[in-house]
Amino acid sequence: MRIVIAGGHGQIALRLERLLAARGDEVAGIIRRPEQGDDLREAGAEPVLCDLESASVEEVAAHLQGADAAVFAAGAGPGSGAARKDTVDRGAAVLFADAAVRTGVRRYVVVSSMGADPSHPGDDVFDVYLRAKGEADAYIRGFNSLDWTILRPGMLTNDAGTGLVRLEASTGRGPIPRDDVAAVLAELLDTPATAGLTLELISGSAPVSVAVKSVAGN
């Protein structure tokens, strides 16, 4: 498959790029800064320079030409303010979805966040973030022309992945290594029967492939 990843230099994205490249997929990662390109090449991905905060839908669609799947893994990051939660976590996700629809890329996998909710209350930056992610998820769910899957991991850690997870519509809160999030994303891309599902993910006892198969088609 050819897979295009928005937020290609993110911690989860780089892990996913390595997994996909190792299994023989063709991977492109969208990045904002040219100096990030070497890290993508090292992971086995083709760097694509495009700022999703300022690009047009036509520009993004051009980068999705020929793709079999798109993954939205971009985020404004923990050091950013409320304004960029809207422009990246909501706006870029909406733009990337619009571009996928325009290009005819049906398979669309989103890295969201546990607790994402368009009506989440509060004015702290994290509250704004959860609203932005929730609004983006709701927008994407409105497309019949996308075979979307929304993945909502729990608290992300840099611990080594165990390959053992809990993946359900509702898991309750818990941690999950970024390694295991990437492994689940790779498996979701291979499992189109997970389209139309919003799934929470934390560490658990089921091997990744078993966890994904168990929710497929539900």
State the Cα–Cα distance between residues 59 and 99, nearest whole angstrom.
Answer: 8
In degrees and rounded to multiples of 5, residue 88 shows phi and psi of: -100, -60
The beta strands (E) that lie in 63-196 are given as 69-72, 107-111, 147-153, 155-157, 164-168, 175-177
- Which residue out of 96, 108, 129, 148 is catalytically annotated? 129
Say how many C-beta atoms besides its own lie within 10 A of residue 102's C-beta.
Answer: 15
Catalytic residue check, 139: no
Helix, strand, or coil (residue 28): strand
List the end-to-end C-alpha distance of the chain, in Å, as a whole number: 24
Residue 113, CA distances (Å) to 32, 57, 176, 183, 201 in order: 22, 24, 12, 17, 9
CA distance 1 to 54: 28
Residues tagged active-site: 129
